[in-house]
Amino acid sequence: MPSPPLDAGAKNLLVDKLRQQPTRSAPAPAPTAPGPADPFEGARMPEVVRSPTFSNARPCKRIVTQRHLEHFHHGPLFAEILGILRAGNEAVRGKKLTDAVHESAEVQALLAIVDQIHALVEETPRDTDSASVSRFGNPAFRTLHDKICHASDRLMEGIPGLAGPEHARARQELAVYLQESWGNAKRIDYGSGMELNFLCWLLGLVKLGILDLARDAEALVLRVFWKYVGVMRIIQATYWLEPAGSHGVWGLDDYHFLPFLWGAAQLMDHPYLRPKSIHDPEIVAECAPAYMYFSCIQSINAVKTESLRWHSPMLDDISSVRTWNKVNQGMVKMYRAEVLLKLPIAQHIFFGDLLSFGPWDEDEGDIVEDEHGHRFAADTSHTPCHTEGQAAGWGDCCGIPIPSAFAAAELKANDRVVRRIPFD
């Protein structure tokens, strides 16, 4: 739970403490990440499709090989994903979560959808029998996921411009991204790929002309996305979702990436706060209500013991960077290189009529999908993601099952014997 706000006296002391920090930290090498000098190079604003045509096919996964990934990289959808990332990044620069934000009727409808999914969580209790013997994903999550899938069309009918039978096919197209945003029901896990699906859901609404980034970008990040993260924290804690990947893939706190990227944008113009401030508990407590980055650090500290150096070495390394601008640029480079362009994660992106894969002339042959959602050529021996995917950084997108840190913290609080989570 977030720490209570400091009283006036403590707050004044904290402000003095921040002002005493040097405006320039000691030089430290920034972590390198592959990518162009401009991290948003190639980004373009999403194109609005005024009269979309839809086939009868639902969005599906198309990326199987490195050639598919290269095709996606050079296609319009990749540029539009970067475009919505950039729009959000620019809109929240220097802004606080507590600032007043214009909420259009469309944004309010999205907030209502997230609230209703939160209500579904409240009415779907954890399976206590399973929780008593396992720290891995709780099977009650599958019940929740089924409820979300069954409710998704009804929920999206509340969005202005999507109501009525004439928009049923558009809702069906977008439903895939909304349903896949809350975790994987088969593996009972969550990672940056599911977070990407939520971004793609928002992108689809932009392409339909329902959302306007010039008007809504700030509210989409500071209100809609942040509320989504809050509900995901509850889902992760309630059902003990496993991190997707044996190292949480590139979720910097086991699960998420974008709150750190956009959170760094919030802080780029801050006169006192520096990346190294995340190591000061008082500063974290005071700044968490206003800044995503500090709120994420607070969440990590609430469920994991010891210092960031031990359980979150990447965040610890990033804290040595001198400015938030450098942190933000590095985050964008890392996201495009290690999420959008890594086969183990990109293979789970869905493509349809609205978010299109684009023309592909090569014969793909027979493609099959295993129980984990990996797609591969039927005439090849299959070891999921361990060939081409192994060059992708972490390698396996699912990896060995890793227990939930939420489960470990809860069992420890209840004085039950817990084996330490392995960190390799």
Scored b (16 or more CB within 10 A) or e, 354-366 reads bbebeeeeeeeee
Backbone angles phi, psi at 396, to 5 degrees: -85, 130
pLDDT for the residue 304: 75
Weakest-pLDDT range from 241-245, 323-327, 346-350: 241-245
Angle at 95 between CA 92 and CA 101, to 5 degrees: 85
Reported as a pLDDT band with limits 50, 70 and 90, residue 210 is very high
pLDDT for the residue 11: 60
Task: Report the pLDDT averaged over residues 327-344.
Answer: 94
pLDDT for the residue 360: 83
Domain boundaries, the chain: 66-359+400-410
What does the pLDDT look like over 343-354, one tens digit per residue? 988 999 999 999
Task: Report the pLDDT averaged over residues 159-187.
Answer: 96
C-alpha to C-alpha distances, 91 to 26, 199, 202, 218, 263, nearest whole angstrom: 30, 15, 15, 5, 12
* CA–CA separation, 159 and 107 (whole Å): 9
**Nearest alpha-carbon partner for 352 in 49, 62, 51:** 62
pLDDT for the residue 404: 53
pLDDT for the residue 82: 98
* CA–CA separation, 184 and 145 (whole Å): 8
* CA–CA separation, 100 and 123 (whole Å): 31
Task: Report the pLDDT averaged over residues 291-310.
Answer: 84
pLDDT for the residue 417: 40
Alpha helices in 38-75 (DSSP H): 66-73
* CA–CA separation, 24 and 325 (whole Å): 13
**Nearest alpha-carbon partner for 36 in 409, 377, 404, 337:** 337
Query: Where do we find the tokens 């948003």?
Result: 40
Find the radius of gyration of the CA atoms of the chain.
Answer: 21
* More confident: 249 or 125: 125
Reported as a pLDDT band with limits 50, 70 and 90, residue 172 is very high
* More confident: 252 or 342: 342
Q: Which DSSP string do the residues of 256-319 spell out, in sequence order?
A: -SHHHHHHHHHTTT-SS--GGGGG-HHHHHHHTTT-HHHHHHHHHHHH--S-HHHH-HHHHHHT
Burial, 138: exposed, middle or buried (Cβ in 10 Å; 0-12, 13-18, 19+)?
Answer: buried
* CA–CA separation, 326 and 383 (whole Å): 38
3-state secondary structure of 136: coil
Please say if the pLDDT value at position 169 is more than 90.
yes
* CA–CA separation, 35 and 368 (whole Å): 32
pLDDT for the residue 379: 54
pLDDT for the residue 121: 98
Task: Report the pLDDT averaged over residues 149-164.
Answer: 97
pLDDT for the residue 370: 52
* CA–CA separation, 363 and 338 (whole Å): 28
Please say if the pLDDT value at position 405 is more than 80.
no
Please say if the pLDDT value at position 403 is more than 90.
no
| Whole-number average pLDDT of the chain | 82
Longest alpha-carbon distance in the chain: 69
pLDDT for the residue 135: 63
Please say if the pLDDT value at position 424 is more than 60.
no
Element (H, E) at 36: none
Please say if the pLDDT value at position 71 is more than 60.
yes
3-state secondary structure of 411: helix
* More confident: 127 or 11: 127
Task: Report the pLDDT averaged over residues 12-25.
Answer: 56
Task: Report the pLDDT averaged over residues 208-218.
Answer: 98
What does the pLDDT look like over 224-233, one tens digit per residue? 999 999 999 9
- Enter the tokens of residue 49: 């499709």
